[in-house]
Structure 1
Amino acid sequence: MPAAPKNDPTAPARKEDHIELAFRSQVEGFQLDPRFDYEPLLAAHPAPGSLPPTPFGDKQLAAPIWVSSMTGGTEKALVINHNLARACAEFGLGMGLGSCRPLLYDNDRLKDFDVRPLTGPDVPLYANLGVAQIEDLLDEGRMQEIQQMVDLLRVDGLIIHVNPLQEAMQPEGDMYRSAPIDVIKATLAALPGLPVIVKEVGQGMGPRSIHALLDLPLLALDTAAGGGTNFSKLELFRGDDIRRAAYEPLVNVGHTAEEMVEMVNGQVRVGAVSSPKWTMETQHLIVSGGVRTFLDGYYLTERSTMPAIYGQASAFLKFAREDYALLQRYVATQIRGLELAHAYLRVRSSPGEFKVV
Structure 2
Amino acid sequence: MDTIRQNRKTEHINLALTSPFSLSSDFDELSFIHRSLPEIGVDDIQLQTNIGPLTLDYPFFINAMTGGSEKSAVINASLAEAARDTGIAMAVGSQHAAIRNEELAHTFNVVRKKNPNGLVFANIGADAPLDYALTAIDMLEADALQVHLNVPQELVMPEGERNFTNILAKLEKLSVKLQVPVIVKETGFGMSTETLRQLHNAGIQYVDLGGKGGTNFIHIENERRSKRDFAYLKDWGQSTVISLLEAQSVLGELTIIASGGIRNPLDAVKAFSLGAAAAGIAGPFLKTLHDQGIDELIMELEVWKEHLKMLLLLQGAKSLPDLQHCPLIAGGKVREWCEVREIDWQSLARRKL
Q: CA RMSD in A?
A: 2.5
Q: What is residue 156 of structure 1 aligned with on the other side?
A: 143
Structure 2 matches for 1:206-221, cutoff 5 A?
Answer: 206-221=192-207
Query: Residue by residue, what CA displacement relative to the aligned partner does 1:168-196 show, whole Å, maximum 9, x if unpaired?
Result: 1001112225142233123334x243421
Task: Tell me if structure 1 keeps the 8 A contact 2:32–2:329.
Answer: no
1:176 to 163, 172, 183: 163
1:325 to 295, 301, 305: 295
Q: What is residue 16 of structure 1 aligned with on the other side?
A: none
- Inter-partner Cα distance in structure 2 for 1:331 and 1:260: 25
Query: Residue by residue, what CA displacement relative to the aligned partner does 1:24-67 show, whole Å, maximum 9, x if unpaired?
Result: xxxxxxxx9861222343346525x9543212232321210021
Q: What is residue 323 of structure 2 aligned with on the other side?
A: none
1:349 aligns with 2:328: yes
Task: Tell me if structure 2 keeps the 8 A contact 1:86–1:118.
Answer: yes
Letter in 2 for 1:311: G
SS at match of 2:263: coil
Compared CA separation, residues 203 and 127, structure 1 to 2 (3 A): same
How many angstroms does 1:356 deviate by?
A: 6.6
How many angstroms does 1:71 deviate by?
A: 0.6
What is the aligned-residue identity percentage?
Answer: 26
Larger radius of gyration: 1
- TM-score normalised by length of structure 1: 0.76
Task: Tell me if structure 1 keeps the 8 A contact 2:213–2:260.
Answer: yes
- Inter-partner Cα distance in structure 1 for 2:352 and 2:45: 25
SS at match of 2:260: coil
Task: Tell me if structure 2 keeps the 8 A contact 1:127–1:159.
Answer: yes
- Inter-partner Cα distance in structure 2 for 1:102 and 1:250: 27
1:200 aligns with 2:186: yes
Letter in 1 for 2:327: R
1:264 aligns with 2:247: yes
1:250 aligns with 2:233: yes
Task: Tell me if structure 2 keeps the 8 A contact 1:43–1:344.
Answer: no
1:120 aligns with 2:89: no
How many angstroms does 1:264 deviate by?
A: 1.1
Letter in 1 for 2:181: P
- Inter-partner Cα distance in structure 2 for 1:35 and 1:340: 16
Query: Residue by residue, what CA displacement relative to the aligned partner does 1:316-357 show, whole Å, maximum 9, x if unpaired?
Result: 111223621010111111111101001113642324858775
Letter in 2 for 1:285: I
Letter in 1 for 2:31: R
SS at match of 1:73: coil
- Inter-partner Cα distance in structure 1 for 2:60 and 2:283: 14
Q: What is residue 6 of structure 1 aligned with on the other side?
A: none
- Inter-partner Cα distance in structure 2 for 1:233 and 1:187: 30
Compared CA separation, residues 69 and 309, structure 1 to 2 (3 A): same
1:144 aligns with 2:113: no
Compared CA separation, residues 106 and 36, structure 1 to 2 (3 A): same
Query: Residue by residue, what CA displacement relative to the aligned partner does 1:146-168 show, whole Å, maximum 9, x if unpaired?
Result: 31331232112321111111111
SS at match of 1:232: helix
- Inter-partner Cα distance in structure 2 for 1:332 and 1:127: 24
Letter in 2 for 1:250: L
1:80 aligns with 2:52: no
- Inter-partner Cα distance in structure 2 for 1:214 and 1:320: 36
Q: What is residue 6 of structure 2 aligned with on the other side?
A: none
Task: Tell me if structure 2 keeps the 8 A contact 1:79–1:320.
Answer: no
Compared CA separation, residues 178 and 58, structure 1 to 2 (3 A): same
Q: What is residue 92 of structure 1 aligned with on the other side?
A: 87
Compared CA separation, residues 192 and 330, structure 1 to 2 (3 A): closer
Q: What is residue 285 of structure 1 aligned with on the other side?
A: 256
How many angstroms does 1:300 deviate by?
A: 1.1
Q: What is residue 172 of structure 2 aligned with on the other side?
A: 185
Letter in 2 for 1:196: V
Q: What is residue 4 of structure 1 aligned with on the other side?
A: none
Q: What is residue 53 of structure 1 aligned with on the other side?
A: 48
Task: Tell me if structure 2 keeps the 8 A contact 1:94–1:124.
Answer: yes
1:235 aligns with 2:230: no
- Inter-partner Cα distance in structure 1 for 2:106 and 2:93: 13
Equivalences, count: 298
How many angstroms does 1:86 deviate by?
A: 2.0
Q: What is residue 21 of structure 1 aligned with on the other side?
A: none
SS at match of 1:287: strand
Task: Tell me if structure 2 keeps the 8 A contact 1:159–1:197.
Answer: yes
Structure 2 unaligned regions, length at least 5: 1-27, 317-325, 332-348
